[in-house]
């Protein structure tokens, strides 16, 4: 465990409250179901989830990975800092016949015993915990020795990583010591976070085909309406017409860079799996 994992409890509490409110904005389950539904099943397959496995999904949201893991026969806990997302998850789980447990939990301080799970997953979830070393150490701690950690994280150079780069000049200042979410999509960074706490590392950059948006404007308006971080950035410049117009343009430019002739986009992510040493 690295010394950089030491974050004062009062800072964790304040950041946790802020992030819970952030992800309760809009309608994140719409992103999970309409835009990136294939991401969770891909992670579950890569992590080798099997019947009877004890699985924890960290930053589970509405269950993009947790529900497929449960359908694979695992005993699943879907954990998230923002329990407001669980209502949509419970509806989706019931519709698919999945049986799992939904539990509030902060990735910086998971409320579980050491080695409590055979497999610990996070599908573009833990990457948004701003204190990376602290979160990585928690993922390792709750995984049993020899158990699997599986992560899917947006890369810095891919669409979502570049979206955060485009929004950064208009966003509120991050807390001291926070690291950018897309760093979790950089293999070297993730390997350094886990260090010798894991073995059998496999890291692969993949593209997720996204066909939800016919135009860049459609993408922008959808994310302005449903995606918490985008909503928060627009609120930060609310009342400043010039900066709002600049932000509008930056997101259209982003979409134009990534949209293919057929209208689809490839959203790049890092698929990372390892075993706890």
Q: What is the pLDDT of residues 93-136, one digit of tens each?
A: 999 999 999 999 999 999 999 999 999 999 999 999 999 999 99
Residue 185's pLDDT band (boundaries 50, 70, 90)?
very high
Residue 161 has pLDDT above 60, yes or no: yes
2 or 231, higher pLDDT: 231
Residue 42's pLDDT band (boundaries 50, 70, 90)?
very high
Nearest Cα to Cα of residue 103 among 57, 169, 54: 57
Does the predicted TM-score (pTM) go above 0.85? yes
Mean per-residue pLDDT for 233-239? 97
Instruction: Say how many C-beta atoms besides its own lie within 10 A of residue 241's C-beta.
Output: 9
Residue 3 has pLDDT above 90, yes or no: no
* Long-range contact pairs involving 20-25 (C-beta distance under 8 Å, separation at least 24): 20/81, 20/82, 22/228, 22/229, 22/232, 23/61, 23/80, 23/81, 23/82, 23/84, 23/85, 23/128, 23/228, 24/82, 24/84, 24/85, 24/228, 25/228, 25/231, 25/232
Q: How far apart are CA 268 and CA 48, in angstroms?
A: 22
Nearest Cα to Cα of residue 57 among 29, 73, 43, 76: 76
% of residues, the chain, pLDDT over 70: 98
Per-residue pLDDT, 33: 96
Q: How far apart are CA 245 and CA 262, in angstroms?
A: 27
Per-residue pLDDT, 261: 86
Per-residue pLDDT, 275: 98
Place of tokens 């001291």: 176
* 109 φψ region: left (φ > 0), alpha (ψ -120 to 50), beta (else): beta
Residue 18, phi then psi, degrees to nearest 5? -65, -45
Nearest Cα to Cα of residue 224 among 202, 251, 246: 251
End-to-end CA distance of the chain: 13
Structure-token pair, residue 101 = 């447990």
Residue 5's pLDDT band (boundaries 50, 70, 90)?
low
Per-residue pLDDT, 16: 93
Nearest Cα to Cα of residue 131 among 85, 180, 58: 180
Per-residue pLDDT, 1: 42
Mean per-residue pLDDT for 173-186? 95
Residue 155's pLDDT band (boundaries 50, 70, 90)?
very high
Residue 187, phi then psi, degrees to nearest 5? -55, -45
Signed CA dihedral, 221, 224, 225, 227: sign only: positive
Q: How far apart are CA 34 and CA 206, in angstroms?
A: 19
Mean per-residue pLDDT for 144-157? 98
**CA 205 from centroid of its chain's CA atoms:** 16
Residue 2's pLDDT band (boundaries 50, 70, 90)?
very low
Residue 4 has pLDDT above 60, yes or no: no
Lowest mean pLDDT among 9-18, 42-51, 157-166: 9-18
Domains with residue ranges and CATH for the chain: 3-211+265-276 (3.40.50.150)
**Mean pLDDT of the residues in the chain:** 96
């Amino acid at each position: 465990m690295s010394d950089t994992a030491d974050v004062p409890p009062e800072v964790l509490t304040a950041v946790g409250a802020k992030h819970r409110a952030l992800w309760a904005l809009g309608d994140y389950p719409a992103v999970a179901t309409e835009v990136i539904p294939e991401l969770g099943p891909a992670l579950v397959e890569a992590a080798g989830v099997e019947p009877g496995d004890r699985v924890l999904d960290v930053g589970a949201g509405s269950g993009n990975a947790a529900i497929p893991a449960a359908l694979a026969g695992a005993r699943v806990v879907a954990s998230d800092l923002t329990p407001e997302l669980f209502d949509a998850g419970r509806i989706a789980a019931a519709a698919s016949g999945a049986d799992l447990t939904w539990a509030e939990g902060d990735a910086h301080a998971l409320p579980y015993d050491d080695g409590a799970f055979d497999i610990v997953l996070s599908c573009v979830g833990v990457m948004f915990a701003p204190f990376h070393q602290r979160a990585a150490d928690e993922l390792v701690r709750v995984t049993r020795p020899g158990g699997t950690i599986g992560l899917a994280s947006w890369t810095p150079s891919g669409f979502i990583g570049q979206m955060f780069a485009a929004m950064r000049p208009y966003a509120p200042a991050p807390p001291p010591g926070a690291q950018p979410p897309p760093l979790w999509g950089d293999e070297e960074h993730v390997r350094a976070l886990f260090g010798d706490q894991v073995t059998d590392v496999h890291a692969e950059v993949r593209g997720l085909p996204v066909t939800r948006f016919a135009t860049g404007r459609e993408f922008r308006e959808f994310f302005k309406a449903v995606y918490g971080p985008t909503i928060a950035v627009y609120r930060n410049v609310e009342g400043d017409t010039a900066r709002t117009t600049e932000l509008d343009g930056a997101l259209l430019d982003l979409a134009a860079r990534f949209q293919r002739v057929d209208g689809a986009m490839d959203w790049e992510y890092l698929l990372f799996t390892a075993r706890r040493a």
